[in-house]
Amino acid sequence: MDISRRGFLKLSAGSLGAGLVGGLGFDLTQAHARVRELKIAKAKVTKSICPYCSVSCGILAYSLSDGAMNVKDRIIHIEGNPDDPINRGTLCPKGATLRDFVNAPDRLTKPLYRPAGSSEWKEISWDEAIEKFARWVKDTRDRTFVHKDRAGRIVNRCDSIIWAVGSPLGNEEGWLMVKIGIALGLSARETQATI
Amino acid sequence: MSTLTTGGTVGLGVRRLSATKEPDTSIKSYPELAILVDISACIGCKACEAACQQWHDLTPPIMTPEEVVRRKIAGYQSHPDLRPDLFMLMRFNEVETSKGFAWLITKYQCMHCREPGCLIACPAPGAVIQYQNGVVDFDHSKCIGCKMCLVGCPFDVPRYDTNNKPWKCNFCIDRVEAGLEPACVKTCPTNCLTFGLKEDMVEKGKKIVEGLKKRGYENATLYDPPGVNGTGYIYVLPHGDHVKDYNLPENPSVDASIGLWKGPLKTIGSIALWGALIGAFLQLILWGPIKVLGGKEEKREEG
């Protein structure tokens, strides 16, 4: 076989090209296990209670922050608390989506007040709200308090107010709420935590 | 706890990669993991679906009532089908069985076959990974977007985003590696989902099936299809004679044509391709380009 100089150059270029193509086509680099990072690995865990129903499931809220003064915690994930005897780590669909509930842009974080006859809600401070609330409770109770029923028995009750308290209350808070309810003479007392 | 498996190995090893020879050189023995879905205990609350979306940060669009009517799907289902941003879906079906009217619920997501059709069909090296614990995962940086995984999948699972990259349940592999259970298992309020070693799950499933049979469900079965060498999600079906109505294939298996296409045909094809290329090169170098009779002589420099 007689190969000229030109032919030799062509053969060299051809082998180089074939080598490059072969190298691209048959990648022999060792593959290794690749795993997504656990997103709650560096998160701070806060125990809390689901606010929805009377079962009061325990939850773990994972937030990203070191707690410094100038930052605000951001909740990145919420799941059930396995140490809670009520749900032992499980959550219903509403509880499982609590993160979106906490971070919802239209979530109420301040008391709103709509005066009678107005169509606009306006923000008021907590002090103002509590004062208004106390005033209405006192006025309503004074107006509708029943000392004696029709048969003349002393009953000392107020039937025009219903007293319902939320599920995340503990024993002591529940006791306090019942005490206040009895002191006001309310017979329609209910708490979500009665199950 | 079974004594057969050495369940002590933590962490992940790779068992198989797509379009790659056996990559694992580990001498460790890894436990096989599985989730048992006890449909007889499912109340269809869709907490697993919600937890899945929360963990994977998925926000599929909410179906409006008008869309539900237009698509004519049962109102219990949150979406008509899986989406790239919806890794699992609770499917509902109402059928007449031998026991009367029944409401069939299925947890529909990637089944994590031990013989994964997607991995066998995938031509991109390393784009589909099967870990030693049996979990099948996608590596999107290596995916070429050819959609062969859907062709290979006997359960019709992968869904593609706008870049043609497939998305599916990944068994919460990040949680599993860290020693946690997948998000759907953790949240299930009725103990319908349980997570553990595959043989323990099979054993538990068989016990539940026996119990169901005693209670009058003669057709109750454990769904762990042998055609794909078992799956990572195994189901207790109370109405075992209505597998199709549970939206599950009765005898799923990897299509034989895919094995042929990926095996002998691929070798023959590459031999033919490279033979033609090398032949053309040799012809050009040793004898020069073909001269057409009566035509102009071609430039030899362009070889």
pTM (2 decimals)? 0.76
**pLDDT at residue number B183:** 92
Q: Give the torsion sign (CA, B111, A96, B106, B236).
A: positive
Q: Is residue B1 part of a domain?
A: no
Residue at B6 is within a domain: no
C-alpha B115/C-alpha B222 separation (Å) is 18
**Three-class DSSP category at B243:** coil
ipTM: 0.76
Residues B203, B71, single domain; the answer is yes
- Identify whether residues B58 and B153 lie together within a single domain: yes
**pLDDT < 50: residue spans in chain B:** 1-5, 303
Give the closest-approach CA distance of A125 to chain B in angstroms.
Answer: 34
Q: Give yes or no for residue A32 having a pLDDT over 80.
A: no
Chain B CB contacts of A10 below 8 Å: 284-285, 303
Question: pLDDT category, A121, cuts 50, 70, 90?
Answer: very high
User: Would you say residue B173 lies in a domain?
Assistant: yes
Residue of B137, B129, B122, B36 lying closest to B87 (CA atoms): B137
Same domain, B250 and B275: no
Q: B238 with B274, same domain?
A: no
- Same domain for B109 and B200, yes or no, is yes
Do B230 and B292 belong to one domain?
no
| Residue B284 DSSP one-character state | I
Q: A103 to chain B: which residues are within 8 Å by CB? A: none
Pairing between β-strand B128-131 and β-strand B193-197 as defined by DSSP bridges: unpaired
Question: Hey, which CATH number is domain A44-102, 3.30.200.210, 3.30.70.360, 3.50.70.10, 3.20.20.370?
Answer: 3.30.200.210
CATH classification at residue B157: 3.30.70.20
Residue B39 lies in a domain: yes
**Band of residue A30 on the pLDDT scale cut at 50, 70, 90:** very low
pLDDT classification of A27: cutoffs 50, 70, 90? very low
Of B50, B281, B285, which is closest to A96 when you measure between CB atoms? B50
Query: Same structural domain for residues B80 and B202?
Result: yes
Q: Backbone dihedral region of B35: left (phi > 0), alpha (psi from -120 to 50 degrees) or beta? A: beta
Q: Do the strands B193-197 and B33-38 form a parallel or antiparallel pair, or are they unpaired?
A: antiparallel
Q: How confident is the model at residue A164 (pLDDT cuts 50, 70, 90)?
A: confident
Question: Which of chain B's residues have a Cβ under 8 Å away from the Cβ of A93?
Answer: 45-47, 49-50
Pick from A45, A90, A94 the residue to mutate for testing the B interface (most B CBs within 10 Å): A90
Instruction: Indicate whether B134 and B275 sit together in one domain.
Output: no
Q: Do A100 and B174 touch (CB under 8 A)?
A: no
Of A10, A90, A94, the CB nearest to B303: A10
Q: Contact A96/B131, CB-based, under 8 Å?
A: no
Nearest chain B residue to A10, by CA: B285
Confidence tier at A31 by pLDDT (50, 70, 90)? very low
> A5 in contact with B at a CB cutoff of 8 Å?
no
Q: What is the pLDDT of residue B8?
A: 59
Q: How far off is chain B from A70, nearest CA to CA, in Å?
A: 27
Specify if B3 maps to a domain: no
pLDDT value at residue A10: 64
Are residue B129 and residue B272 in the same domain, yes or no?
no
What contacts B151, CB < 8 A, 6 or more positions away? B121, B255, B258
Q: pLDDT averaged over chain A?
A: 82
| In chain A, where the domains are located | 44-102, 112-194
Give yes or no: residues B193 and B210 share one domain: yes
Task: For residue B4, tell me if it sits in a domain.
Answer: no
Domain assignment present for residue B78? The answer is yes
Closest residue of chain A to B130, computed from CA coordinates:
A33
Contacts of B131 in chain A (CB under 8 A): 33
Same domain? B158 vs B272 = no
Q: Output the pLDDT for position B252.
A: 86
Cβ-Cβ contacts under 8 Å, B186 against chain A: 79-80, 89-90
Domain around B102: 14-255
Comparing CA positions, the residue from B127, B150, B148 lying closest to residue B137 is B127
Q: Are residues B233 and B296 in the same domain?
A: no
Residue A59 clears pLDDT 70, i.e. is over it: yes
| Cross-chain CB nearest to B186 (options A38, A80, A93) | A80
Confidence (pLDDT) at B299: 55
Residue B176 in 3-state DSSP?
helix
Counting residues of chain A whose pLDDT is more than 70, the rounded percentage is: 81
Q: Which residue do the tokens 């409401």 mark? A: B103
Fill in the DSSP letter of residue B285: I
- A42 CB within 8 Å of a chain B CB: no
Q: How many domains does chain B have?
A: 2
Assigned domain for B18 exists:
yes
Residue B22 C-alpha, separation from nearest chain A C-alpha, in angstroms: 10
